[in-house]
Chains A and B, each alone.
Chain A
Amino acid sequence: MTTDAPGHLAIRGLTKRYGGFTAVDGLDLDVARGELLAFLGPSGCGKTTSLRMVAGLVPASGGRIVVGGRDLTGVPTHRRDMGLMFQSYALFPHLSVARNVAFGLEMRGIGRAEREARVREAIALVRLTGKEEHRPAQLSGGQQQRVALARALVIRPQILLLDEPLSNLDAKLRDEMRVEIREIQQRLGITAIFVTHDQVEALTMCDKVAVMNGGRLEQLGTPLDLYERPATPFVARFVGRINQFRARAAGGTVSLGEARITGAGPAEGPVEVMIRPHRIALSPVSAPAETSDAPLNTVAGTVARTTFAGDVLHYEVAVGDAMLCVEEATRSHAGPVAPGTPVRLSWRPDDTLLFAAAA
């Protein structure tokens, strides 16, 4: 990987301490040119602090930030050439849409003709042509969001930083903006960091996701990596929904109810067992056993609760003294299985994640 390429962001040992509290602890990662990387984690995990350190709004206690081979660690924000889109938009309320977008160009001393052309282009990019003379207060939340995006992009920054940009929008608009931001980012080929606590945003929009917890990087990988091969129980729990219980592994198997199941992970000792609800198939005991090319984990249980949610059915199934959640897509030809029905649960051993647990 050429870390000196323009638009390449390298973060090395980035640390932020507030007195005795360490908000970000030795963050190391690379974002390749044109890549969209998500900082994903619960609130207080250090993701926003990390972003603000990259932007220079918060001084780092340690570590380096290098963009295109240039060390920016001590460079003040206004000379870093990064576009930042704020959660609260932070538009200038006293300036029109056009003047908001033009602000960064004026600061760079770009001549009037070019400035106007680029402002027009940026406003067209976010589909706000015709709103140039409006004040931010006259626009809807989604439109303000677009002005903020245009304002951050018009300066053609080396890095685009997005701080929870969608969390103030309603669900429908959020879906639209998700697609729109991703499309614009890819079209411009701009390197970007996206801070979010919403795993759906991280998985659907980003090339890579950095899952953070307690100021540390838990895992850096593609959305598929995180979902299928979580490195830690935290990542498994945080990304997607998951069944989880404690057990003791012996000889590569774990007992669940009256059966023994196999999975990927440590063969001996106390373990955390995790299985995604929608990877479990549920069938009445009377039905013929499912056939598969690989041996399946199969356990017997009793449906304790059935919840119909339109597109999916949620079951809670008692297996021994454990309670497993199972999700199935609804089908027109088969109704929900009623509570109290004895059922058979089966899933592939690969879908059983085992993590070593403290005894």
Chain B
Amino acid sequence: MTAALAVPPPDMPNPRRLPAGPALLAAIVAVNLLGFVAPVLNLLRLSFLKVDAIGTLRQSFDLSSWRAILTDGFYAELLVDSVRTCALITGLTLVLSYPIALLIHRCRGTVRTLLLVLVITPLLTSAVVRTYGWVALLYDQGLVNGVLMALGMSAPLRLMFNTVGVVIGLTEILMPYMILSLLAGFGRLDPRCEEAATTLGASPLRTFLRVVLPLTLPGIALGCLLTFVLALSSFITPKLLGGGRVFLLATEIYDQAMVTLNWPLAAALSIVILAMFGLALVLYGRLVRKIG
């Protein structure tokens, strides 16, 4: 009798199954609303506030931050410079990471695990520590210049406190992300396809261009998106290796927020960076759909 009561009639919806999906979704929606959407909206609100010389916020609507960004040539230049530098970093990271990712993709067993550990290990160290590592290598009396001078160079190369240093440091720091993204996107690359291409008469170079490259495009797109976004939003490495002489969007936001105490301008610049991310994401989406 109790068993009969426990089974609901077939046409009645099971009360215990119905709300599970929406309930599970609600949790993540709430986290996103609280942790992401609300702060961004707050940032947007902040960018329309007025600030006085000592950084006190006035609760009045003001367009001066946005006017500065849109009319002051400095910010336009900053934006173009940032995008150009980050695109260069992304390109270099791709070129340096691609062969490594391809090698790991082709390895099996212990060798593969070992190589993956080598790729992931740098991620366990903070970017600050790794940046100081680069300082030790790149400064005027550092290892690189020491070797070059010992080989007979008269004056040290300026490898730090300029864009060169920032590009070197960020490229290395972002390589693990690029390698992992590439590997994630290499799923379609079957070694048998490469073999098929060679039996059909394709030289190694043409096999690469006609088969390997097209099949790894999803990985390349993902890696470039991630690297570009991470490069554009990093500020510790550009600050330390740029020595205050390299101006990027992220470092400028940091300076406006922490040094000048102009929170509305920092907020407005943050929105600009967010828009850049959105743009990169749209480009990525289009590319992925095109690769299909």
**Interface residues of A, Cβ cutoff 8 Å to B:** 55-57, 76-84, 86, 88, 90-94, 103-104, 107-108, 151-152, 155, 161
Contact = CB atoms under 8 A, between A and B. Distances in A.
Contacts of A57: 195, 198-199
B241 to A, nearest CB: 40
Interface residues of B, number: 21
A90 B200 contact: no
23 contacts: A55-B199, A56-B198, A57-B198, A57-B199, A77-B199, A78-B200, A78-B207, A83-B200, A84-B195, A88-B192, A90-B192, A92-B196, A92-B197, A92-B211, A93-B188, A94-B214, A103-B200, A104-B201, A107-B197, A107-B206, A152-B199, A152-B200, A161-B199
A93 B198 CA distance: 16
A93 B215 contact: yes
Contacts of B203: 78
Given A78-B202, A78-B203, A94-B214, A103 B188 contact: no
A152 B190 CA distance: 18
Interface string B151-194: 00000000000000000000000000000000000001010110
A92 B211 CA distance: 7
Nearest 7 interchain pairs by C-beta: A104-B200, A90-B192, A107-B201, A90-B196, A84-B199, A77-B198, A78-B198
A78 B199 contact: yes
Nearest to A83: B199
A86 B195 contact: yes
Contact of A90 (B193, B206, B210, B214): B193
Contacts of A91: 193, 196
Contacts of A80: 199
Interface of B is mostly: helix
Contacts of A103: 197, 200, 202, 210
Contact of B193 (A81, A92, A152): A92
Contact of B195 (A76, A79, A81, A90): A90
Contacts of A104: 200-201
Interface string B119-147: 00000000000000000000000000000
Contacts of B188: 93-94
Nearest to A76: B198
A86 B192 contact: yes
Contacts of A155: 200-201
A305 B207 CA distance: 59
A81 B201 CA distance: 7
A19 B110 CA distance: 18
A22 to B, nearest CB: 22
Contacts of A81: 201
Nearest to B191: A90
Given A57-B198, A78-B207, 10 more contacts: A57-B195, A84-B195, A91-B196, A92-B193, A93-B188, A93-B215, A103-B200, A108-B201, A155-B200, A161-B199
A84 B196 contact: yes
Contacts of A77: 195, 198-199
Contacts of B196: 84, 86, 90-92, 151
Given A88-B190, A88-B192, A107-B206, A94 B215 contact: yes
A357 to B, nearest CB: 41
Contacts of B291: 94
Interface in B209-248: 210-211, 214-215
Nearest to B195: A57
Contacts of A56: 198
A94 B214 CA distance: 7
